[in-house]
Amino acid sequence: MSDVTMVEAIRLTLAWAMREDPAVLLLGEDIGKDGGVFRATDGLLARFGPERVLDTPLAEAGIAGVSVGLAAQSFRPVVEIQFMGFAYATLDQMLNHAARMRTRTRGRLTCPMVLRTPCGGGIHAPEHHSESGEACFANVPGLRVVVPSSPMRAYGLLLAAIRDPDPVVFLEPARLYRSAREPVADDGTASALDRCFVLREGADVTLVGWGGLVPDMLDAAERLAGENVAAEVIDAATLVPLDMETILASVAKTGRCVICHEAPLTGGFGAEIAARLAGPGLLSLLAPVERVTGYDTIMPLPRLEDAYIPGTKRILAAVRRAMRHG
């Protein structure tokens, strides 16, 4: 076990998966010789060769389409799209083919592919490089959508995604790539997909979020403890299928919920969680559900990026509003 960053954990996962299964292939722009735009695949070309680490043309739709074909023929392609804003070009292949392969063939074929891409802001990159488009993929039946929040979570969830028989969209918060280190056991142990992770227990308010905002939620919870407010922190991790049972159980205990994500408010995945709380969780609520999100605008890069991205300050304000009720 060693202390690694998230990007190092991803590299460890890819190497383990490739050693474990010769059907695992890597495809993407500049992932071979250059090791990827964030160096997540650095050194893997030398270890596994050009037949398994494939540099592709700058053609995201083509990369996805080739990967769907490979997956249908029993390979396990892991695709890297350089930035989330470029992943929209893959939607035709992911929506019309990857997601439908199992039902289209009545189970005769599956599509065991993973589409990896950095997401979110925090690195002061140009336009198209700071998107949080998880809701776009979450609306596609047949796709799993996974967002890790730490090196350990990235290792376990990516390994599970690669082993999954169906397509997974794996969104990696770019600002977490090198922001922290933690011990990760490179032992091939996968984390469970399709479940939330309770990172901190509390009795007064439930904080739900994923990816880049999880560290902010934990920071907010620590500060709230000084105000005698016990916040339960839930990392949603797998958005589709969503482990709503864990969230409902938490809200039944706390009576309050603050949902946090970086994507814009309108149509964000937080609205789906709020809507589900309005059903079986309605009678547990002591206060209106709060959402702490990005704004309904293109991220104003680069100078106003920090003002756009939600953080601890806005989470604390939402919790304090919720605590006025009940």
Strands 182-184 and 2-4: antiparallel
Instruction: Give the C-alpha distances (Å, rounded to integers) separating 11 from 7, 110, 306.
Output: 6, 26, 28
Quick check: 268 and 139 in contact, CB under 8 A? no
Give the helix/strand (H/E) hosting 208.
Answer: strand 205-209
Estimate to the nearest angstrom the gap between the alpha carbon of 19 and the chain centroid: 24
284, amino acid identity:
S
Degrees, nearest 5: CA angle 153-46-150: 10
Give the helix/strand (H/E) hosting 118.
Answer: strand 114-119
Catalytic entry in 124, 129, 261, 325: 129
Quick check: 223 and 201 in contact, CB under 8 A? no
User: What b/e readout covers 46-79, taking b as 16+ CB neighbours within 10 angstroms?
Assistant: eebeeebbbbbeeebeebbbbbbebbbeebbbbb
Rounded Cα gap, residues 5 and 123, in angstroms:
16
Degrees, nearest 5: CA angle 41-42-48: 75
Annotated catalytic residue 129:
yes
- Edge-to-edge strand ranges of the sheet holding 114-119: 53-55, 24-28, 76-80, 114-119, 168-173, 144-146, 238-240
Q: Which residues are catalytic?
A: 129
